[in-house]
């Protein structure tokens, strides 16, 4: 099996570096190896590589920057996945693509189902929705996994921001009016690897395709997540974490208040689920500790 991985330097893509490669040859690409805003480059690259599975983790994922760069955002989040899907279809390969809770407007009060009406509030969500729709009309064998609130031990994310800010601040103001399920990229990468194994062992035409929600079990607010991070990271300073409302600012993307996704369809189809968000956080904090040698160094490393 040959896997083409995009976004290999990103939060999610970099998790695939540590996964078992004995069963597959993995062609890892970042933007330097394969520029996904260039349609012809994508087509040539995929035709040369001839993968049997394409895992597309690359994205324009900065929601606020997307408001000012909608053309770059749509090129990466809407055009590229469709071209990848068309090329996957040509090669009879499986495309695994990631989408987002941001395709919804957050007006529900119970977890979103895959069949719920989409209505993105921001450019990023609209571009990811366009990517989903383009993939669906490409006839490719494709699995679209909608994620939400992802973080890892590396990269720019909420966990690392809280650890970094706790070093300098006596009080952090964190939004308590958004609800979601913080999900580690490690858990998503492991689940993806499991899906690839299942695909490899199945009759290709029988393998389930379509949109599936995939997040950690449980729910919290950004405020609850911040408090839990600081309580589980014993050597981090513990500033006061004050609940606030989400700041409204014209230069920020609008965020849905309610971001919980129901993973019932995923569990019923594939027979497994991700662990609760607190367990995932514990595992990632161990990784942060290992990256920083000891808890005492957390916050002393400018990289955090």
| Site of interaction with ligand NAP (CB under 6 A) | 6-7, 9-13, 30-31, 34-37, 57-59, 61, 76, 98, 100, 128, 147-150, 155
Query: Using CB atoms, what's the residue nearest to ligand NAP?
Result: 10
Least spacing, CB of residue 214 vs ligand NAP, in Å: 10
- β 150-151/183-184 pair status: parallel
Identity of the residue, 159 or 241, whose beta carbon is nearer to ligand NAP in the bound complex: 159
Reduced to 3 states, what is the DSSP secondary structure of residue 179?
strand
Measured distance CA(293)–CA(283) in Å, rounded: 15
Q: Please give the angle made by the CA atoms of 224, 60 and 79, to the nearest 5 degrees.
A: 135
Nearer Cβ to ligand NAP (12/285): 12
Shortest Cβ 249–ligand NAP spacing (Å): 19
Say how far apart CA 257 and CA 179 lie, in whole Å.
6
Q: For ligand NAP, which is the closer residue by CB, 45 or 199?
A: 45
169 C-beta neighbours (distance < 10 Å), count:
13
Closest by Cα among 183, 197, 10, 13 to 94 = 197
Least distance from ligand NAP to the Cβ atom of residue 37, Å: 4
Instruction: Pick the closer one to ligand NAP by CB: 35 or 39.
Output: 35
Question: How far apart are alpha carbons 110 and 221 in whole angstroms?
Answer: 15
How far is residue 108's CA from residue 115's CA, in Å, rounded to a whole number?
13
Q: How far is the CB of 293 from ligand NAP (least distance, A)?
A: 24
C-alpha–C-alpha distance, residues 178 and 225, integer Å: 11
Q: Is 124 a catalytic residue?
A: yes
Kindly state the smallest distance separating residue 59's Cβ from ligand NAP, in Å: 3
- Active-site residue identified among 112, 124, 151, 199: 124
> Quick check: helix, strand or coil at residue 35?
coil
Closest CA to 166 of 207, 226, 88: 226
Active site residues: 124
């Amino acid at each position: 099996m040959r896997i083409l991985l995009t976004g290999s330097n990103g939060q999610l893509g970099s998790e695939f570096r540590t996964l078992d490669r004995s069963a597959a040859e993995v062609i890892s690409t970042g933007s330097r190896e394969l520029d996904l805003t260039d349609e012809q480059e994508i087509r040539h690259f995929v035709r040369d590589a001839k993968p049997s599975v394409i895992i597309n983790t690359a994205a324009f994922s900065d929601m606020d920057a997307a408001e000012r760069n909608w053309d770059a955002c749509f090129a990466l989040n809407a055009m590229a996945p469709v071209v990848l899907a068309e090329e996957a279809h040509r090669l009879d390969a499986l495309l695994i693509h990631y989408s987002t809770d941001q395709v919804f407007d957050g007006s529900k009060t119970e977890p979103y189902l895959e069949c719920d009406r989409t209505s993105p509030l921001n450019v990023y969500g609209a571009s990811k929705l366009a990517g989903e729709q383009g993939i669906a009309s490409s006839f490719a064998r494709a699995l679209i996994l909608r994620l939400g609130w992802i973080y890892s031990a590396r990269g720019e994310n909420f966990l690392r921001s809280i650890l970094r800010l706790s070093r300098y601040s006596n009080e952090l103001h964190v939004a308590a009016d958004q609800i979601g399920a913080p999900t580690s990229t490690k858990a998503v990468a492991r689940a993806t690897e499991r899906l690839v194994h299942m695909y490899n062992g199945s009759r290709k035409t029988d393998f389930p395709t379509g949109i599936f929600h995939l997040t950690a079990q449980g729910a919290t607010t950004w405020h609850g997540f911040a408090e839990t991070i600081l309580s589980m990271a014993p050597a981090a300073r513990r500033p006061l974490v004050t609940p606030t409302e989400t700041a409204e600012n014209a230069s920020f993307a609008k965020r849905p208040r309610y971001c919980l996704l129901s993973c019932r369809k995923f569990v019923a189809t594939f027979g497994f689920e991700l662990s609760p968000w607190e367990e995932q956080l514990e595992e990632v904090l161990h990784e942060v500790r290992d990256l920083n040698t000891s808890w005492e160094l957390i916050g002393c490393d400018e990289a955090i």
